[in-house]
Amino acid sequence: MVRGLRKAYGERVVVDDVDLDVAAGEVVGLIGANGAGKTTTVECVQGLRRPDAGTVRVLGLDPVRHADRVRRWVGSQLQDSALPDRLRVHEAVELFATGRARPAGELLDQFGLAERRRSAFASLSGGERQRLFLVLALLNRPRLVILDELTQGLDPAARRGVWSAVRQLRDEGTTVLLVTHELDEAEALCDRVVAMRRGRVLDAGPPARLVDRHAGWARVQFGWPPGDRGDASGIGDAGEAGELVRAMRALPGVRDVSVHGDQVRVHGDRPVIAHVGAELVRRGRIPADLRVELPDLEAALLRLLRDDDTSTTAPTATSATPAYHAGPFTAELIGAQQ
Ligand code: ATP
């Protein structure tokens, strides 16, 4: 539990009045812009930094005053420089293990390090180091695990392995607080995410709720059979096809209808998916290639950051008119930011 957390480095306030709740057994992700204060926040939670103001409680304890007790129950990823170069993998595990430790062999196996157990830390690849830090974080059956960029530098298979380990932790009732820039990771793992920027929380909630709130649109695309095209100059000009485009434009929630070759694209609010489908069925036109594109958490975060920009730099601009152009949603939003 974090209330009114404030932390400055010198004169610079980098965490400003942050509240954060992580319930037992929950997986919560801190996401946001670079330099938003995510790592500083989790360092305060770990007791590694002393807050300038506010209250932090971890498992009911003040992590600065009760550092030893908190450390016993919190598993954290180490920094890259934290282990001596010549320490072997199995020695690191033995060094960190307490009486509560999980069987080391099992964990090393789970994270693909069994064959590297006799290797010195310095000889491990970046991904292997990352996995060793995860093994050490999970070793002593912590009640809270804090992971900062947990899959940075991992190849796709290792990344999936780490994801399934986090899911297993959740299934076992362990609480997880993670910092990530990988928004597919946040979407896949987190019960809730907290979006931060410039030391403040912009919004928080389940990933799907954030997507609904900040990127509540959809794009429906379908092909119009060539034989049915209005005339040679394009689908939208005349005849049944032209009439269809006009009808699509009139549907509730539709913001734009565009035609690209024989493809019709309808952009609008989420209910547009149902309205377009219903209209096509009503007309007895059921395209086999109908596709729906929905924005993801990345699109929602980009929108959230852009709206924050807008509200701090140009108060008259409105966030109610998303930019719709051809191309993937993310590219649209990045483009719109420039
Ligand atoms: P990123 O996503 O880039 O890792 P973050 O959200 O984790 O960023 P922090 O690492 O908490 O952000 O940093 C917040 C701000 O505080 C940044 O501007 C950073 O440069 C600054 N900062 C972090 N640590 C220190 C320090 N020890 N001394 C001075 N400034 C620091």
Share of the chain above pLDDT 90, in %: 59
Q: What is the mean pLDDT of residues 115-132?
A: 90
Q: Which of 158, 182, 213 is the last residue of a domain?
A: 213
Kindly state whether residues 169 and 307 are assigned to the same domain.
Answer: no
The number of the ligand 1 atom at minimal distance from the alpha carbon of 37 is 11
Residue 225 is given by DSSP the state: P
Q: What is the mean pLDDT of residues 201-220?
A: 95
Kindly state whether residues 187 and 223 are assigned to the same domain.
Answer: no
- Report whether residue 105 contacts ligand 1, using a CB cutoff of 6 Å: no
| Minimum CA distance residue for ligand 1 atom 27 | 9
Given a cut of 70, whether residue 10 has pLDDT beyond it is yes
Kindly state whether residues 151 and 266 are assigned to the same domain.
Answer: no
Question: Strands (DSSP E) along 84-143, which ranges?
Answer: none
pLDDT top residue among 8 and 309: 8
CATH number for the domain spanning 262: value is 3.30.70.100
Q: List residues bridging with 194 in a β-sheet.
A: 30, 204
Kindly state whether residues 190 and 323 are assigned to the same domain.
Answer: no
CB-based contact 222:263 (threshold 8 Å): yes
Given a cut of 50, whether residue 22 has pLDDT beyond it is yes
Is the Cα dihedral 117, 120, 124, 129 positive or negative?
positive
Kindly state whether residues 102 and 208 are assigned to the same domain.
Answer: yes
The phi-psi region of residue 156 (left if phi > 0; otherwise alpha if psi is between -120 and 50; otherwise beta) is alpha
Kindly state whether residues 133 and 241 are assigned to the same domain.
Answer: no
Q: Distance, CA 301 to ligand 1 centroid (Å)? A: 19
Kindly state whether residues 279 and 320 are assigned to the same domain.
Answer: no
Given a cut of 80, whether residue 46 has pLDDT beyond it is yes
Domain span at residue 287 reads 217-293
* Helix/strand/coil percentages in the chain, nearest 5: 40, 25, 35
- Report whether residue 40 contacts ligand 1, using a CB cutoff of 6 Å: yes
- Report whether residue 36 contacts ligand 1, using a CB cutoff of 6 Å: yes
- Report whether residue 9 contacts ligand 1, using a CB cutoff of 6 Å: yes
- Report whether residue 33 contacts ligand 1, using a CB cutoff of 6 Å: no
| Minimum CA distance residue for ligand 1 atom 28 | 9
Question: pLDDT tens, 124-136?
Answer: 988 888 889 889 9
Q: Distance, CA 198 to ligand 1 centroid (Å)? A: 10
Q: Distance, CA 75 to ligand 1 centroid (Å)? A: 21
Q: Distance, CA 12 to ligand 1 centroid (Å)? A: 10
Kindly state whether residues 8 and 40 are assigned to the same domain.
Answer: yes
CB-based contact 307:319 (threshold 8 Å): yes
The pLDDT assigned to 142 comes to: 92
CATH number for the domain spanning 11: value is 3.40.50.300
- What is the side-by-side strand order in the sheet with 291-293? 254-260, 263-269, 217-223, 291-293
Its pTM stands at 0.81
Kindly state whether residues 32 and 102 are assigned to the same domain.
Answer: yes
* 51: Cα within 13 Å, side-chain hemisphere: 26
Q: What is the mean pLDDT of residues 276-282?
A: 94
Q: What are phi and psi of 3, to 5 degrees?
A: -130, 125
Given a cut of 50, whether residue 327 has pLDDT beyond it is no
| Minimum CA distance residue for ligand 1 atom 9 | 37
The pLDDT assigned to 166 comes to: 87
Given a cut of 50, whether residue 325 has pLDDT beyond it is no
Least confidently predicted of 5-14, 194-203, 228-237: 228-237
Share of the chain above pLDDT 70, in %: 87
The pLDDT assigned to 21 comes to: 92
Burial annotation 259-274 (CB, 10 A radius, 16+ → b, else e):
beebebbbbbebebbe
Q: What are phi and psi of 9, to 5 degrees?
A: -105, 110
Q: List residues bridging with 27 in a β-sheet.
A: 176
Least confidently predicted of 219-223, 306-310, 334-338: 334-338
Q: Distance, CA 214 to ligand 1 centroid (Å)? A: 26
Burial annotation 111-127 (CB, 10 A radius, 16+ → b, else e):
bebeebbeebbeebeeb
Q: Distance, CA 144 to ligand 1 centroid (Å)? A: 23
Kindly state whether residues 315 and 240 are assigned to the same domain.
Answer: no
Q: Distance, CA 282 to ligand 1 centroid (Å)? A: 56
Number of structural domains, the chain?
3
Q: Distance, CA 35 to ligand 1 centroid (Å)? A: 5
Q: Distance, CA 37 to ligand 1 centroid (Å)? A: 6
C-alpha span between 260 and 234 (Å, rounded): 9
CB-based contact 2:41 (threshold 8 Å): yes
The pLDDT assigned to 83 comes to: 87
- Report whether residue 35 contacts ligand 1, using a CB cutoff of 6 Å: yes
Least confidently predicted of 61-65, 146-150, 212-216: 146-150
Kindly state whether residues 187 and 67 are assigned to the same domain.
Answer: yes
Query: What's the whole-number average pLDDT of the chain?
Result: 85
- Report whether residue 180 contacts ligand 1, using a CB cutoff of 6 Å: no
Kindly state whether residues 122 and 160 are assigned to the same domain.
Answer: yes
